[in-house]
Amino acid sequence: MLKYTEDHEWLRPEGDEITVGITSHASEQLGDVVFIEMPEVGREVGAGEEIVVIESVKAASDIVAPVAGTITAVNDALADAPGDVNADPMAAWFFRIRPADGADLSGFMDEAAYRALIG
Amino acid sequence: MDALKHTPLYDLHVALGARMVPFAGWEMPVQYPAGVLAEHLHTRAAAGLFDVSHMGQVILGGRGAAAALESLVPADILDLPEGRQRYGLFTNEAGGILDDLMIANKGDHLLLVVNAACAAQDIAHLEAAGLAPEVVSDRALLALQGPAAEAALESLVPGVAAMRFMDAADFDWRGATLWVSRSGYTGEDGFEISVPAGLAEDFARALLEQPGVAPIGLGARDSLRLEAGLPLYGHDMDAGVTPAQAGLGWSIPKVRRAGGARAGGFPGAGRILPELGRAASMRRGLIPQGRAPLREGVEIFAAAEGGAPIGRVTSGGFGPSVGGPVAMAALPADLPEGATVHAELRGKRLPARIAPMPFVQPTYKR
């Protein structure tokens, strides 16, 4: 079951890991994505830490770690084809993170709550 | 804060699904649903229609207007033939650039087009010099740019295809007078067309019905002019940057230079003229070696580690036609083309190569 953050990330729990991407709303706001800088696999990150840089034709922005944990995988194919973020943001995952405190996502928004957030 | 102004095409932009943003006091379309990337590529491949009505259109009439304007602008205006247009600069006493502008000789008057953000200051500057500028407030200004622009405009306004780059002439459209110049700021062949406000939407819609014409926002206008190596006021030049530093020495003709028949006689000439070809720093083209765009303000270093900055990016981003990042930077003039410098981005130094501009070849009809 997908969850959402206030930073417009979608979170998909898979075993003891969480796969992270950005929402269609975020993709539309960013405009055409032209460059993505991924974190290193194995990096330990804190909740809210800026770990991905997304450059669109307009500006640079960040994706933050939704929870504290360890980066277990990054989507290198996406870094090579950043436009995929705009083409299908819900399929374009950025990284997987193994949370330090277990993969409990109950504190994040469900789809209905996220839709209410973005109006 | 004053309310944002709307151009005569505001309703059309909204109807076309534009994302509107504040720009120099105006509410302007930054992009349409196609997006900046697609709009940029469309303009290079076919034709883009831009609303540039926010720019200031100013009439200078009367005998002596050309001579008076030469006291403010280091361009050749006295010898500007009727029906021709030139690029020029308002300069200040310190040799800095107050604005850049287009100047057309329309026979009994000069028509100036100035930047939106500088328009009020330019008017005051002209008045202070004893000129009587008449601000045109009842016309829209459209730019039609790209390889399909000529055919599209010719089908509505027969005769424009015979114009050469920087020609300026009047044409009739449905009983109204269009002020047309063969110019633009995208590196593409194209036209700028001043049209009475009441007919602007009809005229824009008629252009959009022509094959290959699509509406394009300010986002793509910026990436197009960046790829074309064209400087933007407030970014690549401002009151603290001289013509030579901005790489605009070419806009100062021989007749206004030292030894010329009308040498000097404009603000800052004492600094500007000796510096031509000799500025210590200049606007240079920069091609980042990686994929990360370098944006305005990024500092440039000579070495991969240590040292003080040798310059900074003045405009930069992704060049859709180049297929990668491109930038302009103020850098030492003696660095050779092809030299590698290092741009500090997010704490890392990334190599970038000094490259000739433009980054794409212009297609002007000279």
Partners of B173 in the β-ladder? B176
Task: Kindly list the distances between the CA atom of residue B280 and the CA atoms of B93, B166, B237, B283, in Å, as whole numbers in the listed order.
Answer: 19, 31, 15, 11
Q: Which structure tokens are listed for B32?
A: 């349409």
With an 8 Å Cβ cutoff, is A55 touching chain B? yes
With an 8 Å Cβ cutoff, is A31 touching chain B? yes
Task: Kindly list the distances between the CA atom of residue B225 and the CA atoms of A33, B132, B140, B285, in Å, as whole numbers in the listed order.
Answer: 20, 32, 21, 13
- Picking from B36, B38, B320, the nearest residue to A58 by CB comes out as B36
Q: Which domains does chain B have, with CATH numbers?
A: 9-54+137-228 (3.30.1360.120), 280-365 (2.40.30.110)
Strand-strand pairing, B47-51 and B213-215: parallel
Contact between chains at B318 and A37 (C-beta distance less than 8 A): no
Neighbouring residues of A43: CB distance < 8 A, sequence distance ≥ 6: A51, A70, A71
Structural contact between residues A10 and A26, judged by C-beta atoms closer than 8 angstroms: no
List the beta strands (DSSP E) in B37-119.
47-51, 56-61, 85-91, 97-105, 109-114
Q: Could you report the per-residue pLDDT of A76-118, keeping only the tens digit for each? A: 999 999 999 999 999 999 999 999 988 788 999 999 999 999 9
Neighbouring residues of A16: CB distance < 8 A, sequence distance ≥ 6: A98, A99, A102, A103
Neighbouring residues of B342: CB distance < 8 A, sequence distance ≥ 6: B300, B301, B302, B303, B304, B349, B350, B351, B352
Structural contact between residues B268 and B93, judged by C-beta atoms closer than 8 angstroms: yes
Q: Could you report the per-residue pLDDT of A20-71, keeping only the tens digit for each? A: 999 999 999 999 999 999 999 999 999 999 999 999 998 899 999 999 999 9
With an 8 Å Cβ cutoff, is A84 touching chain B? no
Q: Is B187 left (phi over 0), alpha (psi -120 to 50) or beta?
A: left
Closest by CA position to B317, among listed B328, B308, B309, B326 = B326
As for the ipTM of the complex, it is: 0.86
Predicted pLDDT of residue A102: 82
Question: Block means of pLDDT (10 residues each) for chain B, length 366 residues?
Answer: 90 98 96 96 98 98 93 97 98 98 97 97 96 97 98 98 98 97 97 98 98 97 98 97 97 97 97 94 96 96 97 97 97 96 96 97 88
Structural contact between residues B226 and B287, judged by C-beta atoms closer than 8 angstroms: no
How far off is chain B from A112, nearest CA to CA, in Å? 26
With an 8 Å Cβ cutoff, is A60 touching chain B? yes
Counting one residue from chain A and one from chain B, the pairs whose CB atoms sit within 8 A come to 41
Partners of A22 in the β-ladder? A9
Q: Which residue of A has its CA nearest to B296?
A: A59
Contact between chains at A34 and B318 (C-beta distance less than 8 A): yes
| Cβ neighbours of B35 in A, within 8 Å | 31-32, 57, 86
Binding site annotation covers B150?
Answer: no
Structural contact between residues A85 and A92, judged by C-beta atoms closer than 8 angstroms: yes
Q: Which structure tokens are listed for B34?
A: 């196609």
Q: Which structure tokens are listed for B159?
A: 């005769």
Handedness of CA B233, B236, B241, B244 (dihedral sign): negative
Q: What is the rounded radius of gyration, in angstroms, for the C-alpha atoms of chain B?
A: 20
The single-letter code of the amino acid at A78 is L
- Picking from A31, A53, A60, the nearest residue to B36 by CB comes out as A31
Task: Count other Cβ atoms within 10 Å, centred on residue B291.
Answer: 18
Q: Which residue of A has its CA nearest to B325?
A: A34
- Picking from A37, A57, A58, the nearest residue to B292 by CB comes out as A37
Neighbouring residues of B41: CB distance < 8 A, sequence distance ≥ 6: B320, B321
How far off is chain A from B3, nearest CA to CA, in Å? 24
Neighbouring residues of A75: CB distance < 8 A, sequence distance ≥ 6: A38, A92, A93, A94, A95
Which uninterrupted H or E stretch holds B198? helix B197-208
Task: Give chain A's end-to-end CA distance (angstroms, integer).
Answer: 21
- Picking from B219, B291, B292, the nearest residue to A57 by CB comes out as B219
Domain ranges of chain A: 3-113
Task: Encode B122-159: b = buried (16+ Cβ within 10 Å), e = exposed.
Answer: bbebbeeeebebeebeebbbbbbbbbbbbebbbebbee
| Cβ neighbours of A55 in B, within 8 Å | 292-293, 318
**Predicted TM-score (pTM) of this structure:** 0.94
Name the one residue in this structure whose structure tokens are 């969480």: A18
Alpha carbon distance A52, A95 (integer Å): 9
DSSP structure string for B310-365: -EEEEEEEEETTTTEEEEEEEEETTSPTT-EEEEEETTEEEEEEEE-S-SS-----
Alpha carbon distance A52, A45 (integer Å): 11
| Cβ neighbours of B295 in A, within 8 Å | 59-60
Which value, to the nearest 10 degrees, does the dihedral of the CA atoms of residues B62, B65, B67, B68 take?
Answer: 120
Q: SS3 of A75, please? A: coil
Task: Count other Cβ atoms within 10 Å, centred on residue B280.
Answer: 10
Q: Which structure tokens are listed for B299?
A: 């500092």
Chain B residues with CB under 8 Å of a chain A CB are 30-31, 35-38, 219, 223, 291-293, 295, 317-318, 320, 325, 346
| Domain range A3-113, its CATH number among 1.20.140.10, 2.40.50.100, 3.20.20.150, 3.20.20.20 | 2.40.50.100
Predicted pLDDT of residue B1: 57
